[in-house]
Amino acid sequence: MMTGPVVAQGQGSSPTRTSPGRLADPVSPTLIVTFGDRPDRGEVTRRLTGLGPVEDVVPEIGIWQVRPPVPGTARSRALARSGVIRAEWSMVRTTSDLPAPGKPAPVLPPGAVASPTDPFYADPAAQWSMHQGTWSPSLTANPAPTIAILDSGLDTTHEEFRQPGLIVSPYSAITRRAAAPDVSATGHGTHVAGVAAAPANGIGIVGVSPATSTSARIMPVQISNAAGESHDSEMMQGIRWAVNRGAKVINISSGGPGYQQAFQDTVNWAYRRGALIVASVGNEGLDENEVNFPAGYDHVIGVAAQCDDTVTSDCPRAYGRARFSNYNYSVDVLAPGVDILSTVPTRVHTREVLPGYAYKEGTSMAAPYVTGTVALIMASHPGASPAQVTEILQSTASRGARGLARTSTDGWGVVDPAAAAQAPTPADDLAEPNDDVKYLPAKQAIRLSGRERRVVRATADFNNDQFDTYGLVMTKGQRVRVTISAPRGRFDLGVFRPGSRSISPRVVTRSQLNRQLVATVRRTTPGTRATVVTAPTSGRFFISVVALQGGGPYTLSVQRL
């Protein structure tokens, strides 16, 4: 199931999908501090006094950062401060495009101007990614949401992006200014933005969800430097900026090993507000094949790179997965990522076709193709939740559409823009994100009277949504039967005591989980399993459903005895 390295952060009974990381900056590290409450800036400064300058990250969920001048004991000192529940070093992430291969850029023959009239689109050899699949101009008829590109910035002087109204709310999480010029030496952010949303304006190329002044507008958020490096804290600040200003799909073509619970909390915060994050899985498929984050987080769409029809050492099979592309549980879908023509600043000449246009390849280029597809899904399914959009994207991909199980190599397969945009809207998983106790609203719970039976239908996925949590109110001595049924996959179920702050094996140890556990199923699904719970006390208990392998739909039934 999982071919990449997997390291459990906690000692719980169920496998988790995390991997170790490295210190963000050994000279001047940034410490991400999470509070159990929601203190304002003045209170945070008071609580963390003496640890260094304080800045907000996602204060809506109690996440701040501090830059300690002496990092040695800063983490332990921060953990001892009032209200602090977690302190984690911010880690470095890098962009996921490949260095230019040692072959000349292909000569582009002149082509007939088609609709769209953008000349590179008119030549299938140039923008092969827009012709080999099912993309068509008709998919762009409905207004698409704002697309946030969290990257090195965007060259807004480029001829593709000069039209007024295409760019909204630019921001740099590095300088904290409302401007996001492309600082990358390779023009990475401008290239990524072009793949997702270059306008159909008769110039250059066309993006998957072409930007206009009223549709698929681009929100450039600078999170990485000239070398393509960014810190978790900057990514998290960028996510916050994008969500608070209305972006519904967020592209992050960057990543690195190392799980951060504060980052997962930020992803869940964005997801609850209707925003879906798409990320590149990385280009270490021929080396470490590590799980990279943010692609490895729950509720993030991880994208691997698909080849074109040219057979090379990196692409032994036409339109298959590129060998450099990582293959592990973080892969959700494949998208074009080899020989991708897109926009770059005119100062960039590597693999240049014309000034301002160049080829790149890597999972960095595959991710924005999916980001554009997500925007098309949202355009044709107004009001769809991130859970529904994810289900549409995966179920219409090449493997999902054929009823095949996902794989760590290809995920659900190659994205299919037309099928996704035209798919019926699936049932919503209204509880998401409900990964742990803290994500549940304070009063949300199943309450039973008489012999009442409550049924919940939901989905869980080992790769992208491993944990589901539900509240259950019981009085001391009350007996209930909790039943889980699933046609496929392996699911575990447990019932935990009131007062549990967390029931996630990523957060608490096995012994802590066992002390909180009241009942569990004896065998996992597929099939139907049940356990009877006698409440040892009164309060809100917690039912945990964990996808141990695979995943899919399940039915949870709770009946009073």
Residue of 155, 169, 188, 504 with catalytic role: 188
Environment class of 522 (CB within 10 Å of its CB; exposed 0-12, middle 13-18, buried 19+):
exposed
H helix intervals, 21-178: 41-47, 74-79, 119-122
Note the pLDDT of residue 23.
Answer: 45
The reply to whether 364 belongs to the active site is: yes
Alpha-carbon distances, residue 157 vs 162, 182, 310, 512 (angstroms):
6, 10, 34, 56
What 75-81 contacts at long range (C-beta under 8 Å, 24+ apart), as own/partner pairs, is 75/31, 77/50, 77/51, 78/31, 78/33, 78/48, 78/51, 81/47, 81/48, 81/51
Residue of 184, 364, 408, 504 with catalytic role: 364
Mean pLDDT by groups of 10 residues along the chain of 561 residues: 30 51 54 94 95 95 92 91 93 77 42 66 94 91 96 98 97 96 96 98 96 97 93 96 98 95 97 97 94 97 96 94 96 97 97 97 98 95 93 94 90 95 89 92 86 92 93 95 93 94 89 93 88 96 93 93 93
| 167 vs 487: CA distance, rounded Å | 46
Strands 300-306 and 333-336: parallel
The reply to whether 151 belongs to the active site is: yes
Q: In what order do the strands lie in the sheet with 63-66?
A: 54-58, 63-66, 31-35, 84-89
Note the pLDDT of residue 94.
Answer: 83
Q: What is the pTM of this model?
A: 0.90
Residue 438 per-residue DSSP state: G
| 457 vs 418: CA distance, rounded Å | 28
Per-residue pLDDT tens over the stretch 366-416: 999 999 999 999 999 999 999 999 999 999 999 999 988 899 899 999 999
The reply to whether 13 belongs to the active site is: no
Helix (H) or strand (E) run with residue 373 in it: helix 363-380
Residue of 97, 118, 123, 151 with catalytic role: 151
| 70 vs 279: CA distance, rounded Å | 33
Exposed e or buried b for every residue in 212-235, given b needs 16+ CB within 10 A? beebbbbbbbbbbbeebbbbbbbb
